[in-house]
Amino acid sequence: MNRTIILYGLGLAAMVTILKLIEYKYFVRQLSLEFYLAVVATLFAGLGVWVGRKLTYKKVIRVSGDFKLDESMLERLGISRREHEVLELIASGLSNQEIADRLFVSLNTVKTHSSNLFLKLEVKRRTQAIQKGKELGLIP
């Protein structure tokens, strides 16, 4: 966040410097205020797009094809086979209803498995469960 503020501050300082350099009486009389506003707006729009792309880039995680499930970790955490299946389906992006349909169980059963899984992994959200599962070698 501080970096963004510094970049915008430097951009503003550069724009003011450029405008002061071209602020000769000839240009001031010939060009209207709207022109200067358009120049500043265009430059800041470009700067905003650049900073926005830098802040919102997607991090690419490369996963090797040699995934091996850590069975000992499953046993140590007390995660059942069905809970592990639910975790895999959560990681694949399915909703609770889609998981229930795929496993041929009720929605409440999926919710129970999910909450048990969250307790065992010590997380509060699905995304945290996926991250922790990957860190522990439970899902690819």
Q: Where are the domains of the chain?
A: 2-55, 71-135
Per-residue pLDDT tens digits of the chain, which is 140 residues long: 677 888 888 888 888 777 777 766 555 566 667 777 888 888 888 888 888 888 877 665 565 567 777 788 888 889 888 999 999 999 988 999 999 999 999 999 999 999 999 999 899 999 999 988 888 888 88
Contacts 24+ apart (CB under 8 A), 121-130: 121/77, 121/79, 126/90, 129/87, 129/90, 130/87, 130/90, 130/91
- Tell me the fold of 71-135: Arc Repressor Mutant, subunit A (1.10.10)
SS3 of the chain: helix, strand, coil, percent, to 5: 70, 0, 30
Q: C-alpha angle 100/104/108, rounded to 5°?
A: 45
Half-sphere exposure in the Cβ direction for 109 (13 Å, CA)? 13
Cα angle 106-134-117, degrees, rounded to a multiple of 5: 35
Distance in angstroms (rounded) separating the CA atoms of residues 22 and 29: 12
Asked if 86 and 80 count as a contact pair (C-beta separation under 8 A), the reply is no
Instruction: Return the amino acid letter for 59.
Output: K
